[in-house]
A and B are shown apart, each in its own frame.
Chain A
Amino acid sequence: MSMARRIARNDLTQMRRSRVAQVSLLILLALSVVAALTSIAHRNASDELRARFQAQANAEFGGQPARHPHRMVHYGHFVFRPLPALAAFDPGVDSFTGNTIFLEGHRQNSANFGDVRQSSLLARFGQLTPAFVLQVLAPLVLVFIGFGAIAREREQGTLRVLAAHGVSARAMLGGKAAALGLVAAIMLAPAALAMAWLMAAGGAPVLPAVVLLVAYAAYLGLWVLGIVIASSLFANARSSLVALLGLWTLTTILLPRIAPDIALAASPLPTRLESDIAIQRDLRATGDSHNPDDPYFAEFKAGVLKQYGVDNIADLPVNYSGLLAMEGEALTSSMFDRYATRQNAQQRQQGNTALAFGLLSPAIALRSLSMAAAGTDLEGHRRFLAQAEAYRFDIVQRLNRLQAEALTYSDDRNRNNDPEAARRVRIDPSNWHDVPEFAYRGATTTEKLRAAAPGMVLVIGWLLAMLAGFRVAAHRLGRAL
C-alpha cells in the first residue's frame, strides 16, 4: 500500500503546483466560509425575529381587554415556526414555506410570508448555503481537479512507465483516489468547523450533525471514486473532462429539476381555493348550522337536552350557543384534518416519486437526507402545520367552552339589545392570559434519522456501487497495462 501512498503524495505535489487546482480549491473554500458565516447569521437573525414576533403575538393575545369569548375566537392568534439549529447548515425548504400562520375560529389559514415570494427571482438560482456548496459546487471542483488523474498519465505515457516499475493498477487508482479524497476532506473542513460551532454554541443535536457530516463525506467520496473511475476509462484528459462535466450536469443540475416536474405531473395538488370550497361543501352535507331545521343540529340539540334532562335550551345550566360553537368547530376541524391528511399523503407521494430519481442522481438522495437530518424538510414544516392546527383547535375550543360556561344563554342572546347583558358577556381578561402559549416541538433525533433513512440508503448504495466500480476499473486498467 506504500506504493499507493507514494502515488498519492506525488499527486498532491502536482496539485500544489497546478494553478487550476489551487484556484478552484481556494474559491470553493472561500465560498464555504462565506456560506457558513452568512447561513449561521441568517438563521440566527430569522429565528430571533420569529421569536420576537411570537412574543409580541403572545403579549397581544394575553393583553386583550374584557371581551365576549367569541370575539377572541375571531381575534385569533399568530404562531411562528422556529428554525432548527441545523438550518444554518441546510435551510432546506424554510424559505419556500411560510413561517407564520394566523389561527382563528372556523378557518384554517395558510402559512404566509415565505422568503421565496419576498425575494426576487434570484432565490430560484439556489441559495448559497454550506449544503449547496457541498452538494453542487464541490463535486464540480473535484471534477476540475481530478478529471486527468489517470487519463493524463495515459496521455503522457507515464502510465506505462509506472506499470513497468511494478506499480499495480489498484495502487495507482488507490493513490489517485487518496489524493483526491484529501482534497475532498479539505473541502469538507469549513462545513465541519461550522457544524462543530453549531453543536458547541448553537445547541445543534450531535447525532444528526454527525450523520450529516458522514453523509456529505460519503457523497464527496463517491464523487472522488467516480472521477477516478471515469478518468481511467477515457483515452485522453479532454474526453474524461467532458464526460464528467456531462455527468455532473445531468445528476446535480438537470435531474433534480426534472424529478419534481415528473412527480408533480403524476399527482397534481388541488389549489387552496378548491380545497376550501370542497370543505365547505362537505360541511354543508354534514349539517348546516344556519338552518334551524337542519337534522344534524336538531339531533345535536336533542342530545344536549337529554344529557342535561331539560326540555328547553333556556333551562340548560350552560350556554347552548357555546356548546353549538364547540360542536361546529369540532366539525370544521375534523374536515381540516381530513383534507390535510389527504394532502399530506399526496405530497409524500410526490416526494417519494422525486426521491426515486435518487437512483439516478446521488445529489437528489443527499439533498433529501440532508434536509431530513437538519429538520428542515417538508416533514418539519408539516409538523409545524399539524401542531399549529392542534393549537388552533385547542384555543378556539377553550374560548368556546368559556362561552358555554361563563356566559348565560339569555345574556348571550340579548347582548345586542341589552347593555347590561352586553357588559356581562365581556368576560375577564385573565381568561386570555390563562390560554397556554404555543410551544413548538421540533423533530426528535429519532424522527430526523427516520426521515433521513431513505436518502441514507441511497447514498450508501451509491458509495457501494462506486466501490464496486472502482474494483472493476482497477481490474480493467491492470489488464490494459
Chain B
Amino acid sequence: MGIWLHELKLLLRQRMAVPLLLLTLAAASAAVLAGAAEVSRQQDVIKRIQPQQAEEEAAIADFVTVGADPGDAAYYTFHATWDEPAPMAFAALGQRDVAPFVLRVRALSLESQIHEGENYNPEMALPGRFDWAFVLIYLAPLFLIALLHDLQSGEREAGRMAMIQSVVRNERALWLRRVAWRVGLIYLALCAPLVIGGVLMAAPVGEVLAMLGLAALYVLFWTALALLLARLKFGSVTNAASLAAAWLVLTLVLPGLALLAINAAVPVRQGVELTLAQRELVHAGWDRPREETMQAFFRQYPEWQNMAPLDAGFHWKWYFAFQHLGDVNVADQSRAYREGLEHRDRWTRRIGYLLPAVGVQAGLHRLAETDLGAQIAYQDRIRAFHTSLRRFYYAYMFNDVPFTMADFAKAPRWGDAGDDS
C-alpha cells in the first residue's frame, strides 16, 4: 500500500499533474452542469406549454362548439405531443437541440406535419454542444496524452531510467502503478460529476454504469495507444506529437471522411420527394370523384362503409378521408425515407467498431436516448397518437354525433397510452 501512496505523491508533485486533473474535473463538472441546465430547460418548456395549450384549446372549443360540427373540431384543434428528456440526456444532448421535442399535430394528413422543424439558431448548433460526451470524447484523450506521453521517455530524458531499472525489483509493477494512478485519477475526475449528475437526475443505475463502462473502454483505448507507442522508445516530444496526431485523425479527420462516405453511399432525398408527392395526392382529392375517395377510405376503415351516401357539396367526412388517403398513398415513400435514415445510422454504428470516438459517441447517445433512433421512436409515438386522434374524431363524424364542449375533454391526450414515457 505504501508503495502505491508513494507513487501518488510522486505524481502529484509533477508540474502538470494537479492542474490537469483539476482541469479534467472542472471540464466534466461544467459539462454536466451545462447538460443538466439544458435538460431542465427542455423540461420547463414541456411544463410551460401545457397551460398555453389548454388555453388555446378552450378558445377553439368556444367557436367550434357553436356549430357542434366534429369536422370543425378535428380541423381546428391542434394536439400537443412532447418527448421528455431521458434521465441520462444531460450527459449527451445529441440531436435534441436540432430536432423538435414538442410538436403539435391535428387530424389532417400527418406527413405534412411530422417533418416540421424546430426554431433553433443554426449558428449555435453548428459547433456542437458542450456536454459530458464531448468532454469524454474530445478532451479526455488529450488530458491522458498530456499525462502519459512522457511516462517512460521522461525518465529516460532525465537520466533516471538506468537507476530505476537497477533499483526497482519489478519494473512492470512500477509502470503499472504509475499508469494506474494517472489513468485512474483522470477517470475519477471525468466520471465523478457524471455519477453525481446521474444520481440527481434519478437515472437508472444500469444506465449510469453503462456510460461508466463506455468511458472506461474509451479511456483504456487511449491508454493502450499511449503505452504501445511508448514501446517504440521515442522521445517525449515525438510521443506527444504522434499521440496528438492520432487524436486528430481518430476524432476529427476519420469521422469527417466517414460522414462524406456514408452520405454519398446512402443518399436520402425521399423526405422532400415524399412531401411533394403527398401534397399532390391530398389535393388531387378535391378533383377525384367523391365515391372513389370514399371507397378507398373504406378499404382502410371498413367499419364506416355503411354510412349514408354523401350528397353534393362539402363534407368533412370526405375531406378527412382524402387527407388520410394522402398519408396512405405515400406510406411506402415515408417508410423508404425512414429506412434511409436508419441505414445511415446503421453504417455509423458499424464505423463505430473501427473508430472508438464514433462508437462511444453512438453508445452514449443511445443510452441518453438523444440519437436518431430516439427521434424516430418519438415520431412513431406521434404516428400512433395521430391514429387515435383520427379514430376519435371519425367516430363523431361518421356517426353524425354533434361535438360538444364535454367532448373536448374526451379527446385522446398525449401520454394516455403511456406514449410520453
Contact = CB atoms under 8 A, between A and B. Distances in A.
B213 to A, nearest CB: 19
B176 interface: no
A242 B16 contact: yes
A261 B34 contact: yes
A445 interface: no
- Interface size on B, as a range, is 35 or more
- Chain A interface: which size bin? 35 or more
A148 B238 CA distance: 11
Given A241-B237, A241-B241, A256 B117 contact: no
B40 to A, nearest CB: 11
A113 to B, nearest CB: 5
A78 B123 contact: no
A34 B63 CA distance: 60
A277 B123 contact: no
Interface string A224-265: 000000000000011001100110010001101111110111
B49 A273 contact: yes
Given A121-B362, A242-B16, A274-B52, A254 B139 contact: yes
Interface stretch (B179-187, B275-283, B293-301): B275-283
Interface string A260-272: 1101110011111
Contact of A122 (B27, B259, B312): B259
A50 B34 CA distance: 37
Given A121-B371, A265-B37, A378-B122, A257 B240 contact: no
Given A116-B98, A256-B127, A257-B127, A128 B146 contact: no
B56 to A, nearest CB: 5
B263 interface: yes
A412 interface: no
B287 interface: yes
A137 B121 contact: no
A431 interface: no
B260 A416 contact: no
A261 B36 CA distance: 12
Interface in A4-48: 20, 24, 27, 31, 34, 38
A93 B263 contact: no
Given A49-B269, A260-B124, A269 B119 contact: yes
Contact of A114 (B98, B119, B130): B98
Nearest to A355: B123
Contacts of B134: 257
B142 A245 contact: yes
Given A118-B271, A120-B348, A65 B124 contact: no
B117 A120 contact: no
Contacts of A76: 279
Contacts of A299: none
Interface SS of chain B: helix
B258 to A, nearest CB: 6
Given A111-B117, A121-B94, A121-B348, A126 B122 contact: no
Contacts of A416: 312-314
Nearest to A236: B237
B253 interface: yes
B124 A264 contact: yes
Contact of B121 (A53, A116, A140, A264): A264
Contact of A249 (B100, B120, B142, B280): B142
Contact of A144 (B127, B245, B252, B287): B245
A112 to B, nearest CB: 5
Nearest to B145: A245
B108 to A, nearest CB: 10
Nearest to B337: A118
A387 interface: no
A242 B240 contact: yes
Contacts of B128: 124-126, 257
B233 interface: no
B102 interface: yes
A410 interface: no
Contacts of B314: 416
Contacts of B286: 67, 71
Interface in A176-202: none
Interface stretch (A215-223, A346-354, A398-406, A465-473): A346-354
Contacts of A98: 117
B152 interface: no
Interface stretch (B4-12, B224-232, B339-347, B394-402): B339-347
A263 to B, nearest CB: 6
B407 interface: no
Interface centre among B126, B248, B312, B314 (most CB of A within 10 A): B126
A20 B41 CA distance: 47
Contact of A277 (B52, B241, B345): B52
20 contacts: A20-B238, A49-B269, A67-B287, A75-B279, A112-B271, A121-B94, A121-B358, A121-B362, A121-B371, A122-B262, A125-B251, A253-B139, A261-B129, A264-B121, A268-B41, A271-B119, A277-B55, A291-B63, A351-B121, A419-B312
Given A241-B237, A272-B119, 5 more contacts: A78-B276, A93-B126, A127-B259, A245-B142, A343-B119
Interface of A: 20, 24, 27, 31, 34, 38, 49, 53, 56-57, 60, 64-65, 67, 71, 74-76, 78, 92-93, 96-98, 100, 102, 109-128, 132, 136-137, 140, 144, 147-148, 237-238, 241-242, 245-246, 249, 253-254, 256-261, 263-265, 268-278, 280-281, 284, 288, 290-291, 343, 347, 350-351, 354, 371, 377-378, 381, 416-417, 419, 422
